[in-house]
């Protein structure tokens, strides 16, 4: 968030004199309290200042990067996740290629007959399979997919910042959003969404727009 000159002056005053009331800040700037109200609201909502009733304004001492990090942590996967694209483990490589093309996605989530997550397929997996001489309609995707438990997942309550770090560190295009359940003593996962780099970008834009309208 870029501050204007008056907002920078307000922060400087609060740094030197905090806690300080809005009336005292207005006096130092030779302005009315009503004139400063929008600036004080922006600085407080953005996290630069903290306000306490009957006490005044404090400088938080946090940087813009810290503000962004804190806001990003508060954004959860369930707010930005997309509809997952799944295929059954018995499907052929040819079927998976068609599904990926028609759905315009970079990752497919593989499930079994009970709709439980068992693996994941990427464009690279399908490309490698296509380079051989085998009949793609006869090769099941279960042969080429990355199997559980080697699949990185996320939950609806995870923060978008955490998921963004997973995508970068693992160098992958997307993660399945899962709901975990215990069946016969085993933990199984049901795919309920997906998070990709596009979803991360939407979260960034959301934060930017909120700052612009703060």
pLDDT tens profile 125-174: 999 998 877 899 999 999 999 999 899 999 999 999 899 989 988 889 89
Same domain, residue pair 19 and 116: no
What stretch of H or E contains 58? strand 56-59
- Other Cβ atoms less than 10 A from the Cβ of 151: the count is 19
Cα(177)–Cα(192) distance, integer angstroms? 6
What is the pLDDT at residue 21? 93
Structure tokens at 77: 């996967």
Tell me, yes or no, whether 37 and 83 share the same domain.
no
How far apart, in whole angstroms, are the C-alpha atoms of residue 207 and residue 185?
41
Read off the CATH number of the domain in which 106 is found.
Answer: 3.10.580.10
Residues 49, 98 share a domain: no
Count of other CB atoms within 10 angstroms of residue 138: 9
Residue-wise burial string across 94-113, b where 16 or more C-beta atoms lie within 10 A, e elsewhere: bbbbebbeeeebbbbbbbee
Q: How far is CA 165 from the centre of its chain?
A: 9
Which of 38, 62, 86 is at the close of a domain? 62
In this structure, are 103 and 184 located in the same domain?
A: yes
Q: Are residues 107 and 180 in the same domain?
A: yes
> Residue 212: is its pLDDT beyond 50?
no
Do residues 109 and 189 both lie within one domain? yes
pLDDT one-digit tens code per residue, 61-118: 765 556 666 677 789 999 999 999 999 999 999 999 999 999 999 999 999 999 999 9
Helix, strand, coil shares of the chain, percent, nearest 5, are 45, 25, 30
Residue at a domain's end among 16, 32, 62: 62
Selected residue with higher pLDDT from 2 and 201: 201
Total number of domains constituting the chain: 2
Q: 127 lies in which domain range?
A: 77-204
Question: 159: which strand partners?
Answer: 76
126 lies in the same domain as 187: yes
Q: Are residues 10 and 107 in the same domain?
A: no
- pLDDT of 211 over the 60 cut: no
Phi/psi for 22 (5° steps) reads: -60, -35
Q: 122 and 89 in one domain? A: yes
Half-sphere exposure of residue 211: CA atoms within 13 angstroms, side-chain side: 17
What tokens appear for 45 in the block? Answer: 């909502």
Q: What is the pLDDT of residues 60-77, one digit of tens each?
A: 876 555 666 667 778 999
68 is written with which tokens?
């962004």
- Phi, psi dihedral angles at 25 (to 5 degrees): -65, -45
**Mean pLDDT, the chain, as a whole number?**
88
Q: Does 213 fall in a domain?
A: no
The reply to whether 11 and 99 lie within a common domain is no
């Amino acid at each position: 968030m870029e501050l204007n000159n008056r907002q920078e002056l307000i922060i400087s005053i609060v740094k030197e004199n905090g806690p300080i009331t809005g009336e005292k800040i207005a006096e130092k700037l030779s302005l009315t309290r009503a004139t400063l109200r929008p600036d004080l609201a922006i600085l407080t909502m953005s996290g630069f200042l903290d306000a306490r009733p009957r006490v005044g304004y404090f400088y938080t001492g946090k940087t813009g990067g810290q503000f962004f990090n804190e806001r990003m942590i508060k954004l959860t996967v369930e707010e930005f996740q997309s509809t997952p694209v799944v295929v059954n483990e018995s499907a052929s490589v040819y079927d998976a290629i068609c599904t990926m093309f028609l759905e315009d996605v970079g990752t497919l989530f593989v499930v079994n007959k009970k709709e439980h997550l068992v693996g994941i397929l990427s464009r690279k997996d399908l490309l490698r399979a296509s380079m051989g001489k085998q009949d793609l309609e006869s090769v099941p995707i279960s042969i080429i997919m990355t199997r559980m438990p080697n699949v990185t997942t996320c939950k609806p309550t995870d923060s978008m910042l955490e998921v963004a770090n997973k995508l970068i560190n693992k160098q992958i295009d997307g993660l399945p959003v899962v709901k975990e359940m215990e069946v016969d003593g085993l933990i199984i996962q049901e795919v309920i969404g997906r998070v990709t780099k596009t979803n991360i970008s939407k979260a960034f834009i959301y934060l930017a727009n909120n700052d612009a309208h703060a």
